[in-house]
Amino acid sequence: MSKVLILTDGKAGHENQSRAFARALGCEPVLLPVQFKSPLAKALSYLLDLFGILTIKVFKDFKVFNALKAPNHPTDLKDPTDPKDLTDLKDPKHLKDPIDLKDLNDLKAVIGTGSGTFYAAKAIARRLGVPCGVVLYPRGYRLAGFDCILAPSFDRPDSVPNVIPIPANLVANDDAFYEAGVKAFRERYTPSDRPAVAVIVGGPNKCATLSADWMRSQLEQIFAKYKPTTTTPDTKHQAPSTPRQTPSTEHPTPDTRHQAPSTKHEIWVTTSRRTPPDVEAVVDSFPFDYKLLYSKDHFNPIPAFVSLARVLYVTAESTGMLSEACTFGTAEVHALDNLKSGPHKFRRFIDDLTSAGHLNGARKIDLSEQFARARQLLKINLSDRASERTRNERGSENR
């Protein structure tokens, strides 16, 4: 099977987008960790790139294998470093087994996501004699040195032939991931046949706030819409959470004048590792049908929320989660706007998704045209993969 070399900076969000890119290209990923020697080395990479100098000397030790001596190794390298210098370095720390030379057979491209991989992608792709593609906008580097750039539209990338705008982050999940997530969720909680409304709570960042009062007002509006007679919680008496829940079968108390009719919707919620404690306390005080507080339970219900919910609410700073919700499932997706004022990229992200109908609606993101263009720029032909599969099947029959 054709392969791509993924350069990873150790950030899960970046690595997952590279994996999603590899899957869209129809190639098997081979991972290689890369890290600049220092912040100064990273700053130097911008200057070196400006002058067209590509070198691996700015990175900490890593192993790129003897494939650097392959026949397609270019002879016009501007970096005088001998390729053999790359073959006797340390193995990547997080890889259980050393990657052998055979892992780079039929290598089609080098790809990376994030500023820690952009310069490395250029340098290593040049040495291996293959194209390079990156995800996210490589601001500060020469765009012409990349064969393909998948750039979020909220970064307002330049309109040049090798830049392909995309509306959201790439998501590496597949059907099997969501099936497993739903199965695990159902082992903890048995949903009723009522439509589900799910709320995903993130946390503050430099462009977003998340206060307890704001969270309370948002949840009150959600409950008023989907369970209109539910008693709003008394902040003096916050209901405890339970990690394992099933729909309530208890009889109502005699006074039911202010009790919710349990016939309209189920409402689910999960917080995250970024959610402040006082916000979690507010979440805990509401009578959700299913409630997951990350500070008490690290189970991940989000695959089930995306797969099963009729409506999804996500705090607006959670760009990764909004990207996933707008790509997978069938839910109508809404952003809970906790963003600070100003023309920052988070606001542009929300505005772009809204104008395209992905927010406040159920229109899902389709990147098939963008991926087809990326394969063209990287000279990857899916028909070659089909031919390879046919040859393998014939070989199995002959054996």
Judge contact between 301 and 142, C-beta under 8 A: no
Same domain for 230 and 180: yes
The closest of 53, 73, 56 to 142, measured between CA atoms, is: 53
Q: Is residue 162 part of a domain?
A: yes
| Residue whose entry in the numeric block shows the structure tokens 């310069």 | 119
Q: Is residue 136 part of a domain?
A: yes
Domain containing residue 95: CATH number: 3.40.50
Q: Is residue 197 part of a domain?
A: yes
Kind plus residue range of the DSSP H or E element containing 182: helix 175-188
Lowest mean pLDDT among 157-166, 242-251, 340-349: 242-251
pLDDT band, very low/low/confident/very high, at 382 (cuts 50, 70, 90)? confident
Q: Is residue 360 part of a domain?
A: no
Backbone angles phi, psi at 334, to 5 degrees: -130, 145
What angle do the packed helices 12-25 and 368-377 form, to 10 degrees?
Answer: 80
Say whether pLDDT at 336 is over 90: yes
Same domain for 163 and 285: no
Say whether pLDDT at 235 is over 50: no
Please write the tens of the pLDDT for every residue from 72-94. Answer: 333 333 333 333 333 333 333 43
252-279 average pLDDT score: 72
Same domain for 349 and 217: yes
Predicted local confidence at residue 62, as pLDDT: 64
Q: Is residue 362 part of a domain?
A: no
Instruction: Tell me the range of 255-269, 363-377, 378-392 where mean pLDDT is highest.
Output: 363-377
How far does Cα 389 stand from its chain's mean position?
Answer: 29
Predicted local confidence at residue 241, as pLDDT: 45
Say whether pLDDT at 112 is over 70: yes
Predicted local confidence at residue 384, as pLDDT: 59
Same domain for 377 and 318: no
Backbone angles phi, psi at 145, to 5 degrees: -80, -5
Lowest mean pLDDT among 50-64, 119-133, 319-333: 50-64
Say whether pLDDT at 5 is over 90: yes
Same domain for 235 and 151: no
Please write the tens of the pLDDT for every residue from 163-219. Answer: 999 999 999 999 999 999 999 999 999 999 999 999 999 999 999 999 999 999 999
Predicted local confidence at residue 127, as pLDDT: 87
Q: Is residue 125 part of a domain?
A: yes
Judge contact between 104 and 35, C-beta under 8 A: no
113-133 average pLDDT score: 95
pLDDT band, very low/low/confident/very high, at 71 (cuts 50, 70, 90)? very low
Q: Is residue 187 part of a domain?
A: yes
Same domain for 215 and 337: yes
Residues facing 98 on adjacent strands? none
Burial (CB count within 10 angstroms: exposed 0-12, middle 13-18, buried 19+), residue 251: exposed
- Find the Cα–Cα–Cα–Cα dihedral 239, 245, 251, 257, rounded to 10°: 40
Same domain for 179 and 157: no
Dihedral sign, Cα of residue 126, residue 128, residue 132, residue 138: negative
**Domain that residue 372 falls in:** 3-170+367-398
Predicted local confidence at residue 278, as pLDDT: 98
Same domain for 392 and 347: no
d(CA 223, CA 225): 5
Same domain for 350 and 334: yes
Burial (CB count within 10 angstroms: exposed 0-12, middle 13-18, buried 19+), residue 100: exposed
Judge contact between 301 and 186, C-beta under 8 A: no
- Half-sphere exposure at residue 160, Cβ-oriented, CA atoms within 13 angstroms: 15
Same domain for 309 and 347: yes
The closest of 118, 390, 335, 21 to 4, measured between CA atoms, is: 21
Lowest mean pLDDT among 181-195, 245-259, 289-303, 330-344: 245-259
- Residues in the chain, how many? 399
Read off the tokens for 11. Answer: 């950030």
335-358 average pLDDT score: 95
d(CA 354, CA 344): 16
Predicted local confidence at residue 106, as pLDDT: 87
d(CA 350, CA 321): 12
Instruction: Tell me the range of 55-64, 168-177, 269-278, 374-383 where mean pLDDT is highest.
Output: 269-278
Say whether pLDDT at 29 is over 50: yes
Predicted local confidence at residue 272, as pLDDT: 97
Same domain for 345 and 373: no
d(CA 123, CA 129): 10
pLDDT band, very low/low/confident/very high, at 233 (cuts 50, 70, 90)? low
d(CA 209, CA 267): 24
Q: Is residue 329 part of a domain?
A: yes
Same domain for 261 and 190: yes
The closest of 331, 227, 215 to 283, measured between CA atoms, is: 215
pTM of the predicted model, to two decimals? Answer: 0.79
Residues facing 339 on adjacent strands? 208
Q: What is the domain count for the chain?
A: 2
